[in-house]
Structure 1
Amino acid sequence: MEIELISRETIKPSLPTPSHLRIYPLSFIDNIMRRTYVPIIFFYKPNDISDQNFKISQLRKSLSQLLSKYYPFAGRLKDKITIECNDQGVSFLVAKIKNKLSEILQNPTDNLLNPLFPDELQWTNMDWSETLISFQINCFSCGGMAISTCVSHKVSDASTILNFMHDWSLINRKIEEENETGFLVLPVSNLLDGGASIFSQKDLPIFQEVLPLKRESNVVCKRFVFQPSMINFLKAMVTSSPGSIEVVTAWIYKCVVSIIGLNIETTPFNTVVDLRKKMVPPLSEKCVGNIIWPMSIVFDKKEMELEDLVCKIEEGLYEFNDVYPKIFGENRKDNLSLISKCLKQATDPRPENENTFTFSSWCRLPMYKTDFGWGKPTWVTTYSSFSRDVIILMDTKNGNGIEVMVNLKENVMEKFEHEVELLQHASFIPNPSNVEHDA
């Protein structure tokens, strides 16, 4: 792939951060979170290539306005528990790609995706003084575009990142309307909920960060698209009415554990739970930061049928939702010792050779609603983490299927994709029908 970096600049907030908001305290969950850059990329089908420079100019302007709302993102870490909102800004790169967009989407390998991210930051560990978020605008020869971002996990979870991108697209569309009508864009309101305003660090010890993901050379990542027919086939194996995410998660866990030759009873299972809707009262979906917590399940049998696994996962979620929102919620002052215990457990390093399967669902988030004014994205994805036994679930464009990114050791992956019959029907191409033939 031929790529040329056209420009590199820093975008700062359109309005200075008020003095009383200059210090932004992080939450106790943010404080233990690794500083790893989480990558996401949005692909947009071809439009008039002559408009690309105009679009980039609008993106600069709308991003600057957005940063006045998400003002902590334009700052720098002051110490382990606070951000100095000093308006230093975020990295903004523009690259021209001589290839067509279709060449990427027909075979989205890591080698092709890698240069589309800013400074190849994906899944690397952020230095304390570095920018919290970076962007790269990729312009293809056919008129297609790809907007990528790498955001420090220290300040955001997947929901925060995708809400940020969605809000950016909304402001960008308003700017386009302003250009057409002459009306001014209304100022963006300040960010209200996030950080220590949700989960205060006060009176709690400061624990070390969770260790960054270890990149292993013998780990490969494959994408599997579970179409509705495949999901319904799995649901038919369960007598209850399981959710799509739960049944796909349980099935992948069961298959991989079996292929490795392990047993379920001694193979840890983790999944990340979004706490926003679980809290009492529920938090806004726009709450920023890490409003998540890992749920671990210990199974009591060496082998379990899919139905039993789904049941155990659903029971685990029910118990989790009944316990953690209360511990972390309004009565947290009475639960400081319990919170400290939770934080210690979350940050304790795991045995290096232990197979711990970690699932993270980005489903039902507004990734495919991110329309900057030239249509909704054709495909949204992340990048291989190269950390074994990490599985990320995302919606397909139509919302009916689930795209799963599976990171496994190479020998395990070879067995997984060739020995599991259902995967023979999985697609590896994201959305070929949504890409124009001449792209």
Structure 2
Amino acid sequence: MEPKKLCLFDQLTPSTYPEVVIFYSMNDPNLDLDKTLIQLKKSLSETLTLFYPLSGKTKNNLYIEDYDTGVPYWEAKVNCRMSDYLQLRETESLNKFVAIHPFTKEKDNSDPQLAIQVNVFSCGGIALGVSLNHKQLDGETLSYFLKSWAALFTGSPHKVVIPQLSKAASFFLPQTELPPNCVALMDQLWFKKSNYVTKRFYFNNKAISTLKSLGKSETVPSPTRNDVVSCFIWKHATEASWAISGKPRISVAAHAVNMRPRMKNPRSLENCTGNLFWWASIIVNPAQKAELELSQLVALTNEIVSEFNGDYLESMVGEAGFEPISDFVTQLESMMGMDSEKPDIFAFTNWKNTFNVVDFGWGNPVWVGAHGKVGPEFRNMVVLIDSQGSNDKEVEAFVTLEDRQMAILESDSQFLAFAGNGHNINSSL
């Protein structure tokens, strides 16, 4: 098979490993665990035949080849019941359920594209730990893969997502060589050496309803859950940073925007694999805005994200597609040069209806976890996940911040009035 070209956005995305851990209670007394594990491995192999670039290696930030490399696969026993583990309500141990440490700056082109760890609890429950190399996969691509794996496991080939493996590179043309300033900026956006801490916060329906009331305005009369929760976290994380520095400084919220449904023809990128997202960067300059009002942050975020429309995305297609990226780089370089101190950058991504609907015939997951402690070089980041409780309008946020910022956030009474310290997952598992 021919090498698979990376698309432009793959080239701009570093090799680092997000993780997702999906917990299934397996409440079936007739389940044959040994047969289940054999079938999981067999159907995984079948799925990799469809998504064959995931078995390869990255070469020169241009393409994927060597498809015989394969995907690391482990099975691990967990010496406790799933219900006991979930009641701990902590995040650090999530890293034990995956094969590769999350969000570490990787430099080796031989790193795998994907790694799977199947964790079996003493009660028979299973947690699927997935590490994905961001160089080739975004969250949407991983969801295609997992849904296809589940479909083949359950003998439902009609539910398999037929991946469009090469289409992204034909739309968003790769560069033979990225400009050095572009490479440097992307590295700066993704990685900053510090001591990071990840905590899980829970926003129940009452908190979200109140935040929606506080976040609405004439321009955004009906803000979404994602709007208010992300801006609320951004507001308080920024205030924590300002408290540490002793003065306000520029703050940037970088939202990962899925480009697929925003194209002029939403079906043009249907089932396309690759990093088909880009960053909507919302900038608050304290020289222009002294107060961080939630409604203003929501309005500003909606304004910037709405610019990711069909016309803007079409401007990135074809031979001239790098020009908007170059403009983006120039804008951020200019912004970063406005202040003697580096700006605070907070990245946001939303896993709404992504991994909580992957069904291997065991029912929907009882919980979806993001990650524990990240590597020493990463960044401030927030992952929003639909809560697996009785009310699917509730949200869990995995918040990664520098340790001093997190300490202030966890003592911020105005923040904690809305953000609980982890959702108490159903104890009847």
TM-score range, shorter chain: 0.7 to 0.9
1:84 to 44, 48, 65: 65
Q: What's the offset of the Cα at 1:343?
A: 5.9
CA RMSD of aligned residues (A): 3.0
Which position in structure 1 is the counterpart of 2:259? Answer: 275
| 1:157-191 deviation digits (Å, cap 9, x = unpaired) | 1111122112211211117xxxxxxxx99998564
Contact 1:71 1:87 (8 Å CA) reproduced: no
Alignment length (residue pairs): 404
Contact 1:270 1:356 (8 Å CA) reproduced: no
Matched, 1:266 2:233: no
Which position in structure 2 is the counterpart of 1:406? Answer: 399
After superposition, the Cα gap between the structure-2 partners of 1:348 and 1:61, relative to the gap in structure 1 and judged at 3 Å, is farther
Distance 1:44 1:204 in 2: 44
Which position in structure 1 is the counterpart of 2:48? Answer: 67
Distance 1:65 1:116 in 2: 23
Distance 2:331 2:298 in 1: 25
Which position in structure 1 is the counterpart of 2:11? Answer: 31
Which position in structure 1 is the counterpart of 2:275? Answer: 290
After superposition, the Cα gap between the structure-2 partners of 1:359 and 1:190, relative to the gap in structure 1 and judged at 3 Å, is closer
Stretch moving more, 148-157 or 73-82: 73-82
| 1:331-388 deviation digits (Å, cap 9, x = unpaired) | x434544444446778999799634232322233331111111111111121133645
- Which ranges in structure 1 are unaligned for 5 or more consecutive residues? 1-18, 176-183
Matched, 1:319 2:303: no
Distance 1:121 1:113 in 2: 10
Amino acid aligned to 1:358:
F
Which position in structure 1 is the counterpart of 2:197? Answer: 220
Stretch moving more, 299-308 or 337-346: 337-346
Contact 1:247 1:310 (8 Å CA) reproduced: yes
2:362 to 344, 354, 374: 374
- What SS class does the counterpart of residue 356 from structure 2 fall into? helix
Q: What's the offset of the Cα at 1:302?
A: 2.1
Q: What's the offset of the Cα at 1:248?
A: 1.2
Which position in structure 2 is the counterpart of 1:436? Answer: 428
- Which ranges in structure 2 are unaligned for 5 or more consecutive residues? none
Q: What's the offset of the Cα at 1:192?
A: 4.5
Amino acid aligned to 2:116:
F
Distance 2:236 2:162 in 1: 48
Which position in structure 2 is the counterpart of 1:389? Answer: 380
Matched, 1:44 2:24: yes
Q: What's the offset of the Cα at 1:39?
A: 0.8
After superposition, the Cα gap between the structure-2 partners of 1:324 and 1:173, relative to the gap in structure 1 and judged at 3 Å, is same
1:354 to 342, 348, 352: 342
Q: What's the offset of the Cα at 1:276?
A: 0.9
Q: What's the offset of the Cα at 1:415?
A: 2.4
Which position in structure 2 is the counterpart of 1:8? Answer: none
Which position in structure 2 is the counterpart of 1:178? Answer: none
- What SS class does the counterpart of residue 72 from structure 1 fall into? helix
Which position in structure 1 is the counterpart of 2:103? Answer: 123
After superposition, the Cα gap between the structure-2 partners of 1:255 and 1:72, relative to the gap in structure 1 and judged at 3 Å, is same
2:410 to 417, 424, 427: 417
- What SS class does the counterpart of residue 306 from structure 2 fall into? helix
After superposition, the Cα gap between the structure-2 partners of 1:136 and 1:427, relative to the gap in structure 1 and judged at 3 Å, is same
Matched, 1:199 2:176: no
| 1:121-144 deviation digits (Å, cap 9, x = unpaired) | 322344211221100000111111
- What SS class does the counterpart of residue 95 from structure 2 fall into? helix
- What SS class does the counterpart of residue 72 from structure 2 fall into? strand
After superposition, the Cα gap between the structure-2 partners of 1:90 and 1:346, relative to the gap in structure 1 and judged at 3 Å, is farther
Distance 1:187 1:276 in 2: 19
Amino acid aligned to 1:270:
A
1:255 to 236, 245, 258: 236
Distance 2:417 2:301 in 1: 26
Distance 1:148 1:339 in 2: 34
Distance 2:424 2:264 in 1: 39
Contact 1:106 1:429 (8 Å CA) reproduced: no
Distance 2:32 2:153 in 1: 14
Contact 2:11 2:135 (8 Å CA) reproduced: yes
Distance 2:160 2:241 in 1: 55
Stretch moving more, 255-264 or 295-304: 255-264
Distance 2:223 2:159 in 1: 44
After superposition, the Cα gap between the structure-2 partners of 1:198 and 1:267, relative to the gap in structure 1 and judged at 3 Å, is same
Stretch moving more, 48-57 or 202-211: 202-211
Distance 1:357 1:340 in 2: 19
Amino acid aligned to 2:25:
K
Q: What's the offset of the Cα at 1:107?
A: 1.3
Distance 2:58 2:304 in 1: 35
| 1:193-226 deviation digits (Å, cap 9, x = unpaired) | 5441331116774663732534633x22111111
After superposition, the Cα gap between the structure-2 partners of 1:148 and 1:347, relative to the gap in structure 1 and judged at 3 Å, is farther
Contact 2:11 2:61 (8 Å CA) reproduced: yes
TM-score, normalising length: structure 1: 0.82
Amino acid aligned to 1:107:
L
Distance 2:350 2:254 in 1: 15
After superposition, the Cα gap between the structure-2 partners of 1:376 and 1:78, relative to the gap in structure 1 and judged at 3 Å, is same
Amino acid aligned to 1:86:
Y
Q: What's the offset of the Cα at 1:418?
A: 2.5
After superposition, the Cα gap between the structure-2 partners of 1:147 and 1:414, relative to the gap in structure 1 and judged at 3 Å, is same
TM-score, normalising length: structure 2: 0.84
After superposition, the Cα gap between the structure-2 partners of 1:346 and 1:61, relative to the gap in structure 1 and judged at 3 Å, is farther
| 1:242-294 deviation digits (Å, cap 9, x = unpaired) | 11111111111112222332677722222111111111222445221100111
After superposition, the Cα gap between the structure-2 partners of 1:168 and 1:344, relative to the gap in structure 1 and judged at 3 Å, is farther
Matched, 1:146 2:139: no
Amino acid aligned to 1:156:
L
Distance 1:364 1:29 in 2: 22
Distance 2:202 2:342 in 1: 28
1:173 to 149, 154, 160: 154
Distance 1:62 1:224 in 2: 35
Distance 2:418 2:257 in 1: 29
